[in-house]
Structure 1
């Protein structure tokens, strides 16, 4: 899937790395060193996705995002410096401005590419399952919650993949165990409970309280947002 991607970033070294990774993947990449020129390039090039530095020298990243979304439906992923604490960048304001996800610098090139692929597939309606604040791509094996990378073990990812097949449906323990461990025999240990607890904890750390609910004596289900 080739796409037009705009990188608005004031650090030339980061821009160079991002351009290299994305161009190697077959994308056409444009760049701008600040918010003002980024707005101009976005208007001229009509990108499919924008990677937006949230700490630009001239215009606040959230303000740039608001201006971009006034005139287009482009997807925006933020790039956040590790020292950007909450009082400098308010995440609620950030998502309200139109930024759909963000990642913290420095980042691994493969993670960047996977995150970009998730955003592009969301745009095309392919391969990404979304439930509330959760986005999961089975092809890229990546999961986002409220735009933040949800780092899961292989078993946790498979467990979540089972539960999101039909959000709201209660999956029996034996169904889940059969999917995870390919066995028809019920397991007499607490392995599933441990994986559920770990998965809940990781989602909760990103603000997802009560995302997985327990139905006593039966199993588990994804809570469907109202």
Structure 2
């Protein structure tokens, strides 16, 4: 039996309609943002892009999944909570039938998440949106200077960047794969570039960069 295709269900028109419904709700404390960070999905084009332009909202495209890690993590938690109920119901149904329990449970679970204290903030999301400023806690114990006290990398620092699993070999990561990029790059503004300016166009956190000192580059 062929699986039903989900292509075309999540369109830019539907996403735009949801945004209008949310921000037109008088009970909603959110206001139209100045900047929205999205992935490269087609649902963030067309009608969605037109709507954001009408409200003077700038759209920034994430260059990698790590750039929108908070959203990806939320989606993962939401899916786990939703589909444990979904799967339990579908086990009792004949094979051709599928449960739609997630539609009913979705607002209940989102409301629960919005009223649950997060480890990163120490408060609930519903409390956070009422504040003008929200400060995140450190995600890991402090073993050295971090934040403003951390030594910042400067222009033209030579660095290696941490490779993602399978990035270099193009397949699953093996124990023999190297951890750091085989080429040396330097920092130019907010991008990582090599001498020929064809380095990876993505953002990195400090822990993903290894500073290289006293390196003699080959003559140009």
Structure index of larger Rg: 2
Task: Please say whether Structure 1 and Structure 2 have the same fold, judged by a TM-score greater than 0.5.
Answer: no
Q: What TM-score comes out, normalization by structure 2 length?
A: 0.22
The structure whose residues are more often strand, as a share, is 1
The structure whose residues are more often helix, as a share, is 1
